Chain A
Amino acid sequence: MRIPQVERSGEDVVVAGVCAGIARTLAVDPTFVRLVFALLAFASGAGIVAYVGAWALLPNPNEPEPARRRRRIIGTVLLAWSAILALTGLGLSNSIVWPLLIASAGAVLLRRESRTAGVALIVIGIILFVSHNSRGSATTLLAPGAVGVALIAIAGPWAWRAASDRARAEERADMAARVHDSVLQTLTLIQKDPDDARRLARRQERELRAWLYPSTATGTLADAVDAAAAEIEELHGVRVEVVHTGDAVLDERTQALVLAAREAMANAARHSGADEVSVFVEPNAVYVRDRGSGFDPDAVAADRRGLAESIRGRMERVGGTANIVSTPGEGTEVELHL
């Protein structure tokens, strides 16, 4: 079961971004959450304590991981304290508040690993409640109190599960829509116009992959080569397989590397006659290979400006090299180094 992640807001900050963070997770207006905290502040200051507790408990998106554990403990204690303040503020006596709190803690533990501890705490809560309220006027509260504790113990986890089931159902619907948009459309087209379908199928495969296995980096060398490969596929209807190891930031030099690689891919797609081009990207090199017709690099006509200018010239201007290995009948590899 996935627990929805609540983070303090980094942008919408009045005090520490707690309210905005909670509001974003619940998808409600931040003003509403702020109002709840403000109202709770009137219940013996429970709102203020709760705010500080939540501040300690919720991670800041811009903050590193360490020291979380201590903050978590402090936050939980403060939140429990604010619950006590709020409940006594509402006029409930200590003999009801404390058992309720202990039983709630039990219900929380029940959802985590320690089942037995959870059950034990709930039982303790109920016993405390019964022993303190079985005599005198409080007896009348016994039944509804016990029911309340039981409801929290049962309904809490259930509500949680219902919420996560809904999230999963939404995810499935999203997936279905995605598949419908791409795969079904392509299948329909295959029946009508096989020539266009191949290109469309390839593009949608790329998009679906990008969605299923999102790349962690954007604006990097590997990312830019991927984008260039997608363009060439689109333009020439040839499959371009990109494999990378490591990555680099995009600067003037790596940008030139990407453009030279793009030209090499375009050449392979246009002239080699191969239906697949392999591209391998390292932080300071790109290799573009095809198994097409190949050519004699020394005999390239002078009007083939792509090779001389767009590939060699571009690499040399940024202090790199371009090496072209081609054998007629066996294919071509363009090696670009920075």
Chain B
Amino acid sequence: MSASTRVVLVDDHDLFRAGVRAQLGEGIEIVGEAASVADAVQMIKELDPDVVLLDVHLGDGSGDAVIVQVAPERAGVKFLALSVSDAPEDVIAVIRAGARGYVTKAISGAELTDAVRRVADGDAVFSPRLAGFVLDAFRSGEATASDAELDQLTAREREVLQLIARGYRYKEIAARLHLSPRTVESHVSAVLRKLQLSSRHELTRWAAERRLI
């Protein structure tokens, strides 16, 4: 990559932001930090960064509110959700709002750096936990013939997700399934697209519940 990746960090805990700042590796520049939805929206529109690292819970709202307000005006900004939450509805809500991936806060510095780069390149980043949620939501036994193409996963996509859930990296998945890393990435992106556009019952229910809170 020629220029460094410009990142805005949105999290309501100072301590956590300091930790991420210290951990992010070379080639990544934190150009701004925000602790609330309102501040984040204004800052992102102003700085137009490559990637926004976004906490799912903020003091004055949830992460998906930031995406909803920013995305229409700044289509180039990519969001990567970062959370301690184990609740599927939190994660699914921020992904459906448009985030390109989700990682847990326990992630190592090197892995986070890698994830930011990949999101900046337009790839989707799934943590093992997110892969588990998605497999649950698209459980094979519940798929019916009437399901639209968007509402089910292909056998290959399922295989890739399973390996992500088992802790494999893209390169390792590619080697195991005799695919190119590029193909693995396109499968994951396809799953992300389905996750965002599917009207599958479980997903809409999660999204609906989230809006009621």
- In the assembled complex, how far is the CB of residue A308 from the closest CB belonging to chain B, in whole angstroms? 23
Q: Is the CB of A246 within 8 A of B166?
A: no
- In the assembled complex, how far is the CB of residue A187 from the closest CB belonging to chain B, in whole angstroms? 11
Of listed A209, A245, A287, residue having the most chain B CB within 10 A = A245
Q: What 0/1 pattern do residues 167 to 195 of A give for CB contact below 8 A with B?
A: 00000000000000000000000000000
Interface assignment of B3: CB less than 8 Å from any CB of chain A: no
Interface assignment of B109: CB less than 8 Å from any CB of chain A: no
Interface assignment of B129: CB less than 8 Å from any CB of chain A: yes
Q: Is the CB of B139 within 8 A of A246?
A: yes
- In the assembled complex, how far is the CB of residue A220 from the closest CB belonging to chain B, in whole angstroms? 14
Q: Is the CB of B165 within 8 A of A280?
A: yes
Chain A interface SS verdict (over half)? strand
Q: CA of A287 to CA of B132 in the docked complex: distance in angstroms? A: 13
**Closest residue of chain B to A210, judged by CB?**
B86
Within 8 A of B (CB), among A203-236: 209, 212-213
- In the assembled complex, how far is the CB of residue B28 from the closest CB belonging to chain A, in whole angstroms? 23
Within 8 A of B (CB), among A268-292: 278, 280, 282, 287, 289, 291
Q: What 0/1 pattern do residues 229 to 259 of A give for CB contact below 8 A with B?
A: 0000000000101011110000000000000
Q: Which A residues are CB-close (under 8 A) to B135? A: 245-246
Q: Is the CB of B166 within 8 A of A244?
A: no
Interface assignment of A7: CB less than 8 Å from any CB of chain B: no
Q: Is the CB of B136 within 8 A of A239?
A: no
Q: Which A residues are CB-close (under 8 A) to B85? A: 213
- In the assembled complex, how far is the CB of residue A203 from the closest CB belonging to chain B, in whole angstroms? 15
Q: Which B residues are CB-close (under 8 A) to A282? A: 162
Of listed B106, B139, B167, residue having the most chain A CB within 10 A = B167
Q: CA of A71 to CA of B11 in the docked complex: distance in angstroms? A: 49
- In the assembled complex, how far is the CB of residue B104 from the closest CB belonging to chain A, in whole angstroms? 8
Q: Which B residues are CB-close (under 8 A) to A278? A: 128, 166-167
Inter-chain residue pair count (beta carbon < 8 A): 41
Q: What 0/1 pattern do residues 287 to 312 of A give for CB contact below 8 A with B?
A: 10101000000000000000000000
Q: Which of A239, A280, A291 contacts B132 (CB 8 A)?
A: A280
- In the assembled complex, how far is the CB of residue A122 from the closest CB belonging to chain B, in whole angstroms? 29
Q: Is the CB of A243 within 8 A of B86?
A: no
Q: What 0/1 pattern do residues 101 to 116 of B give for CB contact below 8 A with A?
A: 0000010000000000
Q: Is the CB of B132 within 8 A of A243?
A: yes
Q: Is the CB of A243 within 8 A of B165?
A: yes
Q: Which of A209, A212, A241, A246 contacts B128 (CB 8 A)?
A: A241
User: A213-B87, A243-B128 known; A287 and B139 CB under 8 Å?
Assistant: no
Q: CA of A282 to CA of B161 in the docked complex: distance in angstroms? A: 13
Q: Is the CB of B86 within 8 A of A209?
A: yes
Q: Is the CB of B86 within 8 A of A287?
A: no
Q: Is the CB of A280 within 8 A of B86?
A: no
Interface assignment of B131: CB less than 8 Å from any CB of chain A: yes
Q: CA of A239 to CA of B166 in the docked complex: distance in angstroms? A: 15
Q: Which A residues are CB-close (under 8 A) to B128? A: 241, 243, 278, 280
Q: Is the CB of A289 within 8 A of B167?
A: yes
Within 8 A of A (CB), among B166-180: 166-168
Q: CA of A333 to CA of B165 in the docked complex: distance in angstroms? A: 13
Q: Which B residues are CB-close (under 8 A) to A246? A: 135-136, 139
- In the assembled complex, how far is the CB of residue A86 from the closest CB belonging to chain B, in whole angstroms? 38
Q: Which A residues are CB-close (under 8 A) to B86? A: 209, 212-213
**Closest residue of chain A to B137, judged by CB?**
A245
Q: Which B residues are CB-close (under 8 A) to A243? A: 128-129, 131-132, 165
Q: Which A residues are CB-close (under 8 A) to B136? A: 245-246
Q: What 0/1 pattern do residues 84 to 107 of B give for CB contact below 8 A with A?
A: 011100000000000000000010
**Closest residue of chain B to A243, judged by CB?**
B132
- In the assembled complex, how far is the CB of residue B191 from the closest CB belonging to chain A, in whole angstroms? 14
Q: Which A residues are CB-close (under 8 A) to B168? A: 289
- In the assembled complex, how far is the CB of residue B39 from the closest CB belonging to chain A, in whole angstroms? 26
Q: Which B residues are CB-close (under 8 A) to A244? A: 132
**Closest residue of chain A to B140, judged by CB?**
A246
Q: What 0/1 pattern do residues 121 to 140 of B give for CB contact below 8 A with A?
A: 00000001101100110010
Q: CA of A48 to CA of B86 in the docked complex: distance in angstroms? A: 49
* A interface residues, Cβ below 8 angstroms from B: 209, 212-213, 239, 241, 243-246, 278, 280, 282, 287, 289, 291, 333
- Other contacts beyond A280-B162, A287-B166: 16, CB < 8 A: A213-B86, A241-B128, A241-B129, A243-B128, A243-B129, A243-B131, A243-B132, A244-B132, A245-B135, A246-B135, A246-B139, A278-B128, A278-B167, A280-B165, A287-B167, A333-B166
**Nearest 3 pairs between A and B by C-beta?**
A278-B167, A243-B132, A245-B135
**Can you report 24 A-B residue pairs in the complex whose CB atoms are below 8 A from each other?**
A213-B86, A213-B87, A239-B106, A241-B106, A241-B128, A243-B128, A243-B129, A243-B131, A243-B132, A243-B165, A244-B132, A245-B136, A245-B139, A246-B139, A278-B128, A278-B166, A280-B128, A280-B162, A280-B165, A280-B166, A287-B166, A287-B167, A289-B167, A289-B168
